[in-house]
Amino acid sequence: METQQLIPHLFRTEYRKITAVLCKLFGIEHIEIAEDIASETFLAAVETWSYKGLPPNPTAWLYAVAKNKAKNHLTHYSIFNDKVAGRISEDDSLISEIEIDWSEHHITDSQLQMLFAICHPVISPESQIGLALRILCGFGIDEIADAFLTNKDLINKRLFRAKEKLRLEKVPIEFPGATEIDNRLQNVATTLYLLFNEGYYSESKDAVVRKDLCLEAMRLTYLLIENEQTNQPSINALMALMCFYSSRFEARKNENGEMILYHEQDENLWNAELISRGMHFLSNAATGDQISKYHIEASIAYWHTIKADTPEKWERILQLFNQLLYMEYSPIAALNRTYALSKVHGKAAAIEEAEKLDLKDNRFYFALLGELYKDIDNFKSKMNFHRALALAKTQTDRQTIQKQIDKL
């Protein structure tokens, strides 16, 4: 692989590892230093490799340079937080002997501990996702801005405020204690769930970014599964949910980026391997005596991997939605339930339930009503599609809705 191709690939895979390990070394109050050293390491790679060619082991080269830059920083600027000062004195000879553990085990632990730190409840969910994308996924500010459909300045300000909050609260980079880990793990799961949704339901025009968001959420969730402390049923259920939804990623949009409705998707484009993996994780989740919302949502997603339009399938999905809403009410879940209701009890019953929701600012609400009113009252169907069209945020969404109007 040539330098121009290898460096972006290594940046995506190694930047996050270097940053997490250095954050662990310097402490939460010096996140920017860890990020700067990681960035400078890759800048050195661009300059050196372009001139001298690739080293025999590019990854080891990056780790060695990052280690030297960390040592130089400690020597020249004497930045010591409690964690560093516990191991290093201000004697430069001791600084020169510092060893940074680049073992796979330590890198993984550092990433997981960093995940718990940035998912601390003192900062907002949006900030948690942003920091996860930046520090643990290696996303650039442009990519994060694109994912959130906003500008770079807003993202930079949001991340700065989040880091400052973590610094002021002195949030430790460590695994929570045994009594706290369950509550904190659920907060981490929520962040990963939102990160996945940000990709799966993203309105970004960049299909690569959308898919990468989902893959990064799955990668971080899998790290939790591989760790004995965090390999819990709810995390396996979350992973199953992600696998089932991702299996239909390629079938959800056509070559023009337009959304393809579930019942119109080409089943041949569904990823059978991801469906199988989802079933594996859902089976692993079937332990213990607690059922999380991820168990239920994963089960709903599983039934959607069965294309056959049978009464049993939709009855099961409807029952699962009922259970989900009882556990944790959500207007969007209630809206999705109405489609299953239409398959079991007919469109009229579904329309009655859907209109009770009155989600006037939600284009999916009007798009669903437009679909339900088809062949019952085409005038109302067209009216609802037009209201959905007025709320659409992207050109591809508008094209998708306009096609439904044209069919009427």
User: Which pLDDT does position 282 carry in this prediction?
Assistant: 97
Residue 8 lies in a domain: no
> Does residue 170 form part of some domain?
no
pLDDT for res 408: 85
**What pLDDT was estimated at residue 48?**
92
Q: What is the number of domains present in the chain?
A: 2
* pLDDT number for residue 82: 45
Determine, yes or no, domain membership for 320: yes
Residue type, 283: S
Give tens-digit pLDDT for 293-304: 999 999 999 999
Residues 229/181, Cβ–Cβ less than 8 Å: yes
For residue 308, the tally of other CB atoms under 10 A from its CB is: 7
The answer to the question of residue 376 being in a domain is yes
203 band by pLDDT with thresholds 50, 70 and 90? low
Q: What is the pLDDT of residue 64?
A: 94
Distance, CA of 202 to CA of 22 (rounded, Å)? 31
Six token digits for residue 175: 């695994």
pLDDT at 9: 86
Residue 129's alpha-carbon distances to 37, 334, 352, 391, in angstroms, are 22, 25, 37, 25
86-95, 183-192, 239-248: range with lowest mean pLDDT:
86-95
| DSSP structure string for 78-119 | ----HHHHTT--S-HHHHHT------HHHHHHHHHHHHHHHT
Q: Are residues 371 and 408 in the same domain?
A: yes
Q: Are residues 370 and 407 in the same domain?
A: yes
Quickly count: other Cβ atoms within 10 Å of residue 403's Cβ: 12
Mean pLDDT comparison of 70-84, 135-149, 251-265, 308-322, highest-scoring range: 308-322
- Quick one: pLDDT at residue 8? 86
CB within 8 Å of 268: residues ≥ 6 apart: none
Looking at every residue in the chain, the average pLDDT score rounds to 88
pLDDT at position 1: 56
CB 128 within 8 A of CB 153: no
Task: Evaluate whether residue 299 is within a structural domain.
Answer: no
Whether 272 maps to a domain, the answer reads no
* pLDDT tens-digit readout, 68-119: 999 888 877 654 444 455 544 444 444 555 678 999 999 999 999 999 999 9
405 and 374 inside one domain: yes
- Domain containing residue 370: 359-408
Determine, yes or no, domain membership for 311. yes
* Domain contains 374: yes
Higher-confidence position of 400 and 327: 327
Can you tell me whether residue 259 is helix, strand or coil?
strand
